[in-house]
Amino acid sequence: MIKKLFKFILKLSLWFVALTMLWVLIYKYVPVPYTPLMAIRSIENPENNATRHNWVAIEKISPHLQLAVICAEDQLFLQHNGFDKQAIEKALKHNQQGKRLRGGSTISQQTAKNVFLWPERSWFRKALEAYFTLLIETFWTKERILEVYLNSIEMGKGVYGAEAAAQYWFKKPAAQLNRGEAAAIAAILPSPLRYSANPPGPYVANRTAWIKKQMLLYGVLNLKVDQSIDNKKGEKE
């Protein structure tokens, strides 16, 4: 009986690994049409479940927005392998002090959560997030991770992805966002359902100014660079 159970668990595990790897490989080339979070938001608000989402290639997303989200969310994105140990340790220390919860997730981790999983604070979900993060870091390029992230992340009520956010907040295509507009969108990412990119409140205005300063310090973003290059420009807030 124990032997049969062991074989069943082993087969189940192998199928899980095979199917999830296939899922990740498909999304390496195919646009992500829908995410679990989009479905959850539609269920939570059945009376207003319109989903604004229009996938565009990264070449059609303003370089200002690409740089803004990296400066706002994960300045070591091009250097790490999916996890920022220092940011995680800072977040844990901050949260243990009883202050407002702060996340230590990288762009890779957020991409794994947004595309493959659901929003929940649990060790099981975090373990799956780590697993999918390892997969996308293994099979995708940094450019692809950022492209999927920018096309899938929640950027307002019912707004997902850069193109929908640019149209919703500034009535223009994502390719035409200037530095200030890009920074304003990046500024609301901690709580896109709570904050407004346009017009901005005091918090978003202050954070936008900080992101713009970080963008100047960071310099030119080159997703094609060798990831072993140590780019030390910019400090996390």
Residues 18 and 126 in one domain: no
Pairing of strands 159-160, 52-53: parallel
Helix then strand then coil, in percent of the chain rounded to 5, is 60, 5, 35
- Structure-token pair, residue 80: 């790490």
| pTM recorded for the entire structure | 0.87
Residues 100 and 13 in one domain: no
Residues 22 and 118 in one domain: no
Residue 204: predicted pLDDT: 97
Residues 17 and 125 in one domain: no
Q: What are phi and psi of 159, to 5 degrees?
A: -110, 125
Residues 9 and 67 in one domain: no
- What amino acid is encoded at 123 in this protein? W
pLDDT in tens, the chain (237 residues): 788 888 889 999 999 999 999 999 999 999 999 999 999 998 888 776 689 999 999 999 999 999 999 999 999 999 999 998 777 767 666 555 555 545 579 999 999 999 999 888 889 999 999 999 999 999 999 999 999 999 999 999 999 999 999 999 999 999 999 999 999 999 999 899 999 999 999 999 999 999 999 999 999 898 875 443 344 444 443
Residue 179: predicted pLDDT: 97
Residue 88: predicted pLDDT: 72
Number of domains in the chain: 2
Owning domain of residue 25: 1-30
Which of 125, 153, 149 has its CA nearest to residue 137? 149
Residues 41 and 9 in one domain: no
Q: Which residue has the tokens 């790490």?
A: 80
Q: Which residue has the tokens 């009986």?
A: 1
Residues 111 and 13 in one domain: no
- Structure-token pair, residue 98: 């009883």
CB atoms within 10 A of CB 113: 24
| Alpha carbon distances (Å) from 121 to 78, 128, 134, 153, 165 | 26, 12, 19, 18, 26
Half-sphere exposure of 195 (CA within 13 A, CB side): 21
Report the DSSP beta bridge partners of residue 160: 53, 154
Residue 206: predicted pLDDT: 97
Decide: helix, strand or coil at residue 120. coil
Q: What is the DSSP string of 169-205?
A: HHSS-GGG--HHHHHHHHHTTTSTTT--BTTB-HHHH
Q: How many residues does the chain have?
A: 237
Q: Tell me if 86 is assigned to some domain.
A: yes
Residues 122 and 159 in one domain: yes
Residues 93 and 116 in one domain: yes
Residue 231: predicted pLDDT: 42
Residue 99: predicted pLDDT: 54
In angstroms, the CA 166 to CA 19 distance is: 34
